[in-house]
A = this chain, B = another copy of it.
Amino acid sequence: MFGDVLEDELQSEYGLTVGHWPQSIALSTVGGWLACRGAGQLSNRYGKIEDIVIGLDVVLADGTIVHTGGHARQSAGPDLTQLFVGSEGTLGIITGARLRARSVATANHSSAWAFPSFEAGADACRSIIQRGLAPAALRLYDAAEADRNWGTGDIAVLLAFDEGDQATVDATTTITAEECSSAAPLDAELVTKWFGHRNDVSALEALISRGYMVDTLELTVSWTDLPVLYTTVRDAIAATPGIISSTAHLSHSYSDGACLYFTFAGKAAAEGPDAIEEMYMSAWNAGTTTALTHGGSLSHHHGVGLNRARFMSASQGEGATSVLHAMKKALDPNGILNPGKLGMPTAFGDLPDRFGSEH
């Protein structure tokens, strides 16, 4: 079921929301959210999809039907729901899901803040979330990205938006203002502007249709490693021949780290798809290799897919890789489910070189 259809029905018929708002809401399905471990734009409040799901129906490769979870919480063995979330179709086919819904929010609050640097803004995000409660959205844009979106000049811009119960919104508003006391307040209208255009990728599509390459790369990193990782990954992508823009925002905060979300664009020197592809793969190689070197994860919510599969075992380490492969062999001994995904061996021949080669 597509996300916007789900939300329309839940909200209009029951006054409820799942609260999962990926940029792709109208193009993505519940099954896709689960298979790739998705995050919504308000998932500081509602959780990532792994926090929202309470049970799954799964069909295994041999036709066995499996029902997982279904209770609020239980301690009866491993959480088999989480074995299938993020499995990208490799361990079983998700055919049904039970998601946690909440009442539609009755209150909200927006604010926007100017920081002299991305690092100073990130430190405010850390301080806010480590107080134990944060706004539903807490999005910090570096100066280049903020200026491109809203013409704000040479400042990092933090957008804070909360929704929910009035008492909770009051608490996050207080916490945010206290932790941003050294920043300059900006017009909260910026949050409204963000909401108005947050899912509009037509500007990117216009670029792509004129031969430009545009993509995003997201990952998590500890607060300690964040400043170095932000700079080195941004610069590594920017140094790739043909790249003309490399910027980032911080999209999600956790007590132990954050998601950095890089956007990059370029135009290959030569014409044609091969040149664009070479530039594209070079940028991904540079960004991902640099990220893994500086303590970043492989992905925060876009999953692995084919493009990141070649980094999977370097990112996980040998031991975890052997466990994942053992799970695959146990549940899908003939390897018929989504072969080649998650960097696992496939019985159906090698992947194309560009995906299969080790970095």
A297 within 8 Å of B by Cβ? yes
Question: Measured between alpha carbons, how far is A72 from B254 in the docked complex, in Å?
Answer: 7
Knowing A100-B255, A299-B75, the reply to whether A83 touches B131 (Cβ < 8 A) is no
Residue A174 is within 8 A (CB to CB) of chain B in the complex: yes
A45 at the interface (CB under 8 A from B): yes
Query: A residues touching B (Cβ–Cβ < 8 Å)?
Result: 36-39, 45, 48, 50, 54, 58, 60, 64-68, 71-80, 82-88, 91, 100, 102-103, 130-133, 164-165, 167-168, 170-172, 174-175, 178, 219-222, 252, 254-259, 296-304, 308, 312, 315-317, 319-320, 322-324, 326-327, 329-331, 342
Please state if A78 and B83 are interface contacts (CB–CB under 8 Å): yes
- Is the pair B320, A80 in contact by a Cβ cutoff of 8 Å? yes
Task: Report the Cα distance A152→B103, complex, angstroms.
Answer: 35
**Once the chains bind, are B320 and A74 in contact (CB under 8 Å)?**
no
**B74 and A297 within 8 A (CB):** yes
Given contacts A86-B79, A167-B175, contact A71 B319 (CB under 8 A): no
Nearest Cβ in chain B — how far from A328, in angstroms?
9
How many copies the complex holds: the figure is 2
What is the distance, in angstroms, from A78's C-beta to the closest C-beta of chain B?
5
Rounded to whole angstroms, the CA-CA distance of A271 and B100 in the bound complex is: 50
| CB-defined contacts of A219 to chain B, threshold 8 Å | 74
Say yes or no: A132-B77 contact (C-beta < 8 A), given A67-B319, A68-B320, A171-B168.
no
Contact indicator A85/B78 (Cβ below 8 Å):
yes
A79–B50 touching, CB < 8 Å: yes
Query: Which of A75, A83, A178 has the most CB atoms of chain B within a 10 A radius of its CB?
Result: A75
- Bound CA span A109–B327, Å: 46
Complex contacts, A221 vs chain B, CB 8 Å = 71-72
Q: Which residues of B contact A88 (CB under 8 A)?
A: 77
* Contact yes or no, B73 A79, CB < 8 A: no
Chain B positions within 8 Å of A171 at CB level:
133, 167-168, 170-171
